[in-house]
């Protein structure tokens, strides 16, 4: 994995007020004195000047990689079902797919667009902050090798980091947040809301124009996307809370809490919209009526149910879960890999991602 001080041009959020003149590259005209300072060098004691430890830098690098990956997948969704404008890289839109996604909510195109913009801004900011502190940044361009959708509206010749056409979406987050006594931090598991979506390989975007011909099949693809949106963002919701417990520098903690808060906003939005996915059967893929089986899958119960936390002797409390920090980064890599998001990537990609995750998990808060 190329860890350089070069940031890909397409990771600049065109809407972000923090970055002006994207063509100049990240950090060139960033607002604020800190980001305007020249790169700094290592001081004694293993810290970067300004208080950034090696552990802090490792955590930020892993999060930068995660945000670059998120930006890549959200860009693909936006090309086909989001608003097409100059704020984020886009295609030309696919009306049939966009209409199927809009069944979940009429404003889905705006939400997809804004989530895409947010992830580009996260990646650009974290890399710029690393560069300002003399730390290596993250560039994954060498791994942009996966094919694009060939459906109308996609940028068909653009190479991708992520694969949205062979997903196995873990929907246990749905029941986890509704369970009153279950917490994965305490070793608990919860069932899948859509069991058939968690097995096999399912497209979340049309692979080609043939995928848009059958309205039922196309709606299944849109439903898959709806649950995948929530799956991705619930992972970020936990990941930032998990890694925040390992940072040392107060400003780095502020970054993780601030970006993590926006991930929570994303998850809450997508959690709500996924509940509008219409029941249907498409071959072996079955989207059930989630309101037919009680509170564990009831669609309007999107506020986290109070549950066990820290120790079972304490009263239930409404929380983000999981937040256990041990092995958090490696857990995120495993979850994304199991999702099918990296099908087609070479072994070098997985080795590089695991190296970044291992370094983040090895970071420790220094008093």
Q: How confident is the model at residue 50 (pLDDT cuts 50, 70, 90)?
A: low
For residue 251, what pLDDT is reported? 96
Res. 41: pLDDT tops 60: no
CA distances, 116 to each of 87, 152, 194 (Å): 10, 20, 25
Q: What is the DSSP annotation of 274-312?
A: HTTPPPEEETTEEE--GGGS-TTT-TT--SPPPB-BSBT
**What share of the chain has pLDDT > 90, as a percent?**
83
Residue 21 clears pLDDT 80, i.e. is over it: no
Q: Which domain holds residue 283?
A: 32-142+163-362
Q: What is the mean pLDDT of residues 304-322?
A: 97
Which pLDDT score, from 0 to 100, does residue 45 have?
A: 47
Q: Residue 360: what pLDDT?
A: 98
Q: Is residue 150 part of a domain?
A: no
Looking at residue 48, what is its pLDDT?
54
How many domains does one find in the chain? 1
The predicted structure's pLDDT at residue 366: 73
Where residue 365 falls among pLDDT bands split at 50, 70, 90? confident
pLDDT at residue number 177: 97
Q: So what's the pLDDT on residue 53?
A: 95
Q: Give mean pLDDT, residues 224-228.
A: 98
In this predicted structure, the answer to whether residue 38 has a pLDDT above a threshold of 80 is no
Note whether residue 17 is domain-resident.
no
Predicted confidence at residue 12, as pLDDT, reads: 39
Instruction: Please check whether residue 3 lies inside any domain of the structure.
Output: no
pLDDT of residue 89: 86
Q: Is the pLDDT of residue 243 over 90?
A: yes
DSSP alpha helix (H) spans, 192-326: 215-244, 250-274
Q: Please give the Cα distance from 40 to 312 (Å, whole number).
A: 46
Report the SS3 class of residue 53: strand
CA 286/CA 223 separation, integer angstroms: 10
Residue 49, pLDDT score: 55
In the chain, which ranges are continuous DSSP H helix? 33-36, 54-81, 95-102, 108-132, 172-176, 215-244, 250-274, 328-338, 347-362
pTM over 0.85: yes
- pLDDT at site 130: 96
The secondary structure element, H or E, covering residue 47 is strand 47-48
Over 70: is that where the pLDDT of 40 sits? no
Q: Are 80 and 151 in contact (CB under 8 A)?
A: yes
Across 23-34, average pLDDT: 31
CA angle 80, 220, 267 (to 5 degrees): 70
Q: Compute the mean pLDDT over every residue in the chain, rounded to the nearest whole number.
A: 89
pLDDT higher than threshold 60 for residue 242: yes
What pLDDT is stored for residue 47 in this prediction?
A: 54
Summarised one tens digit per residue, pLDDT across range 90-145 is: 899 999 999 999 999 999 999 999 999 999 999 999 999 999 999 999 999 999 99
Identify the band that residue 258 occupies on the pLDDT scale cut at 50, 70 and 90.
very high
Reduce the DSSP state of residue 233 to 3 states and report it. helix
pLDDT at 15: 39
Note whether residue 280 is domain-resident.
yes
């Amino acid at each position: 994995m190329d860890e350089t001080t070069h940031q890909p041009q397409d990771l600049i959020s065109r809407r972000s007020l923090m970055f002006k003149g994207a063509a100049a590259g990240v950090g060139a005209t960033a607002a604020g004195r800190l980001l305007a300072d020249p790169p700094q060098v290592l001081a004694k004691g293993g810290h970067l000047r300004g208080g950034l430890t090696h552990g802090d830098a490792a955590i930020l690098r892993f999060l930068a990689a995660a945000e670059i990956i998120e930006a890549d997948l959200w860009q693909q969704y936006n090309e086909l079902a989001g608003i097409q404008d100059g704020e984020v890289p886009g295609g030309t839109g696919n009306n049939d797919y966009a209409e199927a996604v809009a069944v979940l909510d009429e404003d889905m195109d705006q939400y997809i667009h804004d989530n895409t913009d947010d992830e580009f801004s996260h990646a650009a900011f974290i890399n710029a902050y690393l560069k300002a502190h003399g730390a290596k940044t993250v560039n994954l361009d060498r791994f942009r090798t996966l094919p694009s959708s060939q459906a109308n509206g996609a940028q068909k010749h653009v190479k991708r980091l992520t694969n949205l056409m062979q997903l196995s979406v873990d929907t246990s987050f749905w029941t986890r947040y509704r369970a009153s006594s279950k917490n994965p931090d305490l070793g608990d598991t919860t069932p899948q809301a859509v069991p058939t979506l968690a097995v096999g390989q399912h497209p979340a975007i049309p692979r080609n124009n043939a995928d848009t011909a059958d309205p039922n099949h196309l709606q299944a693809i849109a439903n898959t996307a709806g649950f995948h949106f929530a799956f991705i963002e619930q992972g970020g919701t936990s990941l930032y809370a998990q890694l925040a417990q390992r940072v040392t520098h107060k400003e780095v903690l502020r970054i993780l809490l601030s970006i993590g808060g926006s991930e929570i906003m994303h998850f809450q939005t997508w959690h709500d919209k996924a509940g509008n996915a219409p029941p249907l059967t498409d071959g072996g893929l079955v989207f059930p009526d989630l309101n037919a089986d009680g509170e564990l899958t009831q669609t309007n119960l999107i506020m986290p149910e109070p549950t066990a936390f820290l120790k079972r002797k304490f009263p239930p409390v409404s929380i983000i879960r999981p937040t256990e920090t041990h092995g958090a980064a490696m857990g995120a890599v495993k979850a994304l890999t199991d999702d099918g998001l990296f099908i087609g990537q070479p072994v070098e990609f997985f080795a590089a991602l695991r190296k970044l995750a291992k370094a983040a998990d090895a970071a420790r808060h220094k008093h």
